[in-house]
Amino acid sequence: AAPSSLDLELPRGYAVGDAVIMKCDFNHDNGSVVAGDRGEVIGPSPTEPTTRVLCKFPSPSWLSAPLKLPVRIFDLEYELPGGFRVGDTVINKGNFNGESGSVADGDRGEVIGRSTIEPKTRVLCKFPKHSRLRVPPSELELELPGEFRVGDIVFYKGDLKNKHGSVADGDRGEVIGPSWNERKTKVLCKFPNFSSLHAAPSSLDLELPGGFCVGDTVTCKMDFKDERGSVSAGDRGEVIGRSTTGWKARVLCKFP
C-alpha cells in the first residue's frame, strides 16, 4: 500500500491529529506543560515509543515554535469532538429510538469514549436505555459539577480577592464552562470583577427562571392537579431546584 493510504498505529490507539489534554505537570529538556494544557499528537515518540507519543503544545511567549514533547500516554486524555472528555456527564437533546435502545430528551448519560464511526464528529455515550450511542456533540449538553450548566446565572457565597480579580458575597455571575484544571470538582464562572473564576459548586447559588433561588418560599397563583398530587391557588410551597422538564421556563417546587 502507498504510505499515504496508511495510518500510523500509536500506543493506546492514539492517532496523529488527536487532541489531548495533560493530566499532570510535565517537565522536559525541551520545555514544560501543566495539567489542563491542550495539545495535539503529531507522531511516535523518539524515546520509549511503546509508552509515549510525541505531542505539540502552544509555545510560551519566549519561543517562536510549538513545544514538541514525548509524553507518557497515561499522562494524557483524549479531547473528544465538542470538547467532551471520557467520564463527562451529559444531557441528551432530542429523542432517539432504535433497535439497540432509546434515549429521550433530557436523559442523563456518560461519555465513554471515542466513536468508532465518524470519530471526528461524534462521541460514544451510554444512557440508561442505550448502552452505546454515537452522538453528535450538538445533541449533547455538558452537566457540570453541582448539576450546573453553561449559561446558568449564579450568586457567589463569600468573598474572594487575588491577583486575578475579586468577587463579593452576593455578586451575580454566569457559568461559562468546565474548570480547566479541576473539571470534576469546580465550574468556570465570570463575574463583574473576575472574568475567569474556578468556583466550587458549594460557593454558588443557582438563580432559577423568574429570579427564584432554591429555598425561596412561594405562593401558588392557580389550581393544579396531576397524577402526583394537587395544589390550590394560595398554597404556600418551597422552591427545591431546577425543573427536570422545561427547565428554562419552570422551577421545581414542593407543596404540602
Q: What is the dihedral of CA 163, 165, 169, 175, to 10 degrees?
A: -130
pTM of the model: 0.73
The letter for the amino acid at 52 is: R
| Residue 1 pLDDT | 46
Cα 47 to Cα 14: distance, rounded to the nearest angstrom = 16
**Angstrom distances, CA of residue 107 to CA of 92, 130, 143, 206, 227:** 5, 11, 11, 21, 21
**Angstrom distances, CA of residue 224 to CA of 230, 231, 238:** 6, 5, 16
Handedness of CA 90, 121, 41, 180 (dihedral sign): negative
Cα 231 to Cα 235: distance, rounded to the nearest angstrom = 7
Query: In which residue are the cell numbers 524515546 written?
Result: 47
| Residue 182 pLDDT | 87
Query: In which residue are the cell numbers 431546577 written?
Result: 242
Phi, psi of 71 (to 5 degrees): -105, 140
Residues ≥6 apart with Cβ < 8 Å to 174: 151, 152, 153, 154, 189, 190
The SS3 of residue 206 is strand
pLDDT tens string for the chain (256 positions)? 444 445 567 998 888 999 999 999 999 888 889 888 899 999 999 999 999 999 999 877 666 678 999 999 999 988 999 999 999 999 999 899 988 999 999 899 999 998 989 988 999 999 999 999 999 999 999 999 998 999 999 999 999 999 999 999 999 999 999 998 788 899 999 999 999 999 999 999 999 999 898 899 999 999 998 888 899 999 999 999 888 777 778 899 999 8
| Residue 7 pLDDT | 57
